[in-house]
Amino acid sequence: MTSPTKAEGSGPAVALDPELAATSEVDKPKTLEGRSPGQLMWQRFRRDRTGMICAGVVIFYFVIALCAPLMTALSGTNPYTLYGQDPTYVDTNPILDDFGLPLGYFGGVSGDHWFGVEPQYGRDLFAMLMYGMRTSLYMALGVTVLLMVTGVIIGLIGGYFGGRTDYWIGRVTDFFLAFPQQLFFIAFMPVVTAFFVDPQEETPTYFRAVAILIVLWLLGWMGMARLVRSTVLSLREREFVEAAKVSGASPWRIVRKEILPNVVSPILVQFTYQLPSTILTIAFLSFAGVGFVEPTPDWGRLFAAGARYAEQDPAFMFFPGLALVIFILCFNLLGDSVRDAFDPKSGR
């Protein structure tokens, strides 16, 4: 498996990249220890400053989104109260003028309302953003995990068994890829929602969430399946898999012990690219008006509202937009760093 030339040179002097060579020099007096590919990846990743900062930012987003109730407790607001219409607030502390536009500067930023308020209703933007991020991020996390698992299973089956199975799985994948995705999302959200709820009744929010999950899942697994299939296809012919086969390992064991560990890195890289794009798709659904609806706080819905108010109150858009740009930027940079850490050869 390892070529003789490589085997001869495999002493401590062989380093995977120049940076590692430097550290192993320092470590020399200590005992040499083997490192797993995961540890090597982690070491490379830790040295990538952009990657570390971006990972920090992304984790920060997930944490504050998870702590949304805590954050709004700090600001003393909540995303559902109509501060501009509720008499208890309007009389003591008016925040909207006669036209329903926020008083004060920059969309009504004040000590009470940190990011300003929504025109017309007077809901608190900070609370809406926090809760909206919670909806979007955790929804997207669920969808992405589901997509990944489905894609990996289908890709593994196609790639490992090959032949006719692979052919038909390939055709089905092509078929799903031919769907006009965004149009399909828009057209089927109401239909899928109607699968669960009688249209004559109000749709509960979590049914909407389930409907979004199903629609995105149905048209989202193909990329992953293709990636895993092509990786497995090349792995299948490798010597260690042949060796496992010859020694009588069951297909399940081969898939689990020989193939799966080798597909982990492309899967992880794909995951970091897929998650932000899922977040954007969910935001797109809400933006188009078929995802989450009033009054569920959702990131995408803030943009729909922002586009509506853009003429009178452009400041409303600022905080949700800036938050999204920073988040997506960091996630994309993180994706690049993860890829570089797994595969140092793919340097830019």
Partner 1 sequence: MLQFIIRRLAGAVVTLFLIGAVTFFLFIAGPSDYASLACGRDCSPTRIADIREALGLNLPVATQFWQFMSGIVMGRDFPDGHCAAPCLGQSFYSGDMVWDTILDRFPTTLTLTVGGTICFLIFGVGAGMISAYRRGSTLDKFATGSSMVLSSFQIYFLGPIALTVLVYSTGWMEDPGYVPISEDPVRWFVGMSIPVVVMATIFTAQYTRMARASMIEQLAEEHVRTARAKGMTKKYVFFRYAWRGSLIPIVTVLGIDISSMLGGAVVTELTFSLQGIGRLAVNGAMTRDLPLTMGVMMFGAFFILIVNILTDIAYAWIDPRVRLS
Cβ proximity to partner 1: between 72 and 281 the closer is: 281
Binding flag, residue 225, partner 1 (CB under 8 A)? no
Residue 175 binds partner 1 (CB under 8 A)? yes
Instruction: Based on the shown chain and the rule CB under 8 A, indicate whether residue 207 belongs to the binding site for partner 1.
Output: no
**DSSP letter at 237?**
T
CA distance 71 to 127: 8
Q: Which of residues 238-297 bind partner 1 (CB under 8 A)?
A: 280, 283-284, 287-290
Q: Hey, is 328 helix, strand or coil?
A: helix
Binding piece for partner 1, criterion CB under 8 A, among 74-82, 152-160, 177-185, 256-264:
177-185
Closer by beta carbon to partner 1, 227 or else 241: 227
| Burial class of 173 by CB neighbour count within 10 A (0 to 12, 13 to 18, 19+) | buried
Task: Select from 222, 192, 221, 223 the least CA-distant residue to 208.
Answer: 192
Position 345 contacts partner 1 (CB under 8 A): no
Give the count of beta carbons closer than 10 Å to the beta carbon of residue 145. Answer: 14
**Residue 194's CB: how many other CB atoms inside 10 A?**
13
Choices 6-14, 117-125, 256-264, 323-331 (CB under 8 A): range interacting with partner 1: 323-331
| Contact code string over 287-316 relative to partner 1, x by CB under 8 A | xxxx------------xx-xx--xx--x--
Nearer to partner 1, 150 or 181 (CB): 181
Choice from 36, 199, 239, 248 touching partner 1 (CB under 8 A): 199
Tell which one of 12, 190, 204, 261 touches partner 1 (CB under 8 A). Answer: 190
Question: Left (φ > 0), alpha (ψ -120 to 50) or beta: where does 54 sit?
Answer: alpha
Residue 108, Cβ neighbours under 10 Å: how many? 27
**C-alpha distances in angstroms, 195 versus 77, 186, 192, 214, 231?**
36, 16, 5, 11, 37
- Mind spelling out the 3-state secondary structure of 165-210? HHHHHHHHHHHHHCCCHHHHHHHHHHHHHHHHCCCCCCCCHHHHHH
Distances (CA, A) of 77 to 55, 68, 88, 128, 132: 29, 11, 14, 9, 14
Place of tokens 């009054």: 295
Residue 214 binds partner 1 (CB under 8 A): no
- Indicate the residue among 69 and 204 with the shorter CB distance to partner 1: 204
- Does position 82 bind partner 1 by CB under 8 A? no
Out of 273, 328, 343, 344, name the contact with partner 1 by CB under 8 A. 328
Query: Per CB under 8 A, does 204 bind partner 1?
Result: no
Which is nearer to partner 1, 74 or 325 (by Cβ)? 325
Hey, what are 89's tokens? 């607030």
| Cα–Cα dist 113/108, whole Å | 7
Choice from 14, 15, 32, 191 touching partner 1 (CB under 8 A): 191
Rounded Cα–Cα distance for residues 90 and 57 (Å): 37
From the CB of 191, what's the least distance to partner 1, in Å? 6
Shorter beta-carbon distance to partner 1: residue 87 or 347: 347
When the beta carbons of 79 and 335 are compared against partner 1, the nearer one is 335
Considering only the stretches 71-79, 136-144, 246-254, 319-327, report the one whose residues sit in contact with partner 1 under the rule CB under 8 A.
Answer: 319-327
Report which of 268, 342, 270, 267 is spatially closest to residue 44, judged by C-alpha positions. 342
State yes or no: residue 184 binds partner 1 (CB under 8 A): yes
- Any contact of residue 213 with partner 1 (CB under 8 A)? no
Residues forming contacts to partner 1 in the complex (CB under 8 A) are: 174-175, 177-184, 186-191, 194-195, 198-201, 280, 283-284, 287-290, 303-304, 306-307, 310-311, 314, 317, 321, 324-326, 328-329, 332-333, 348
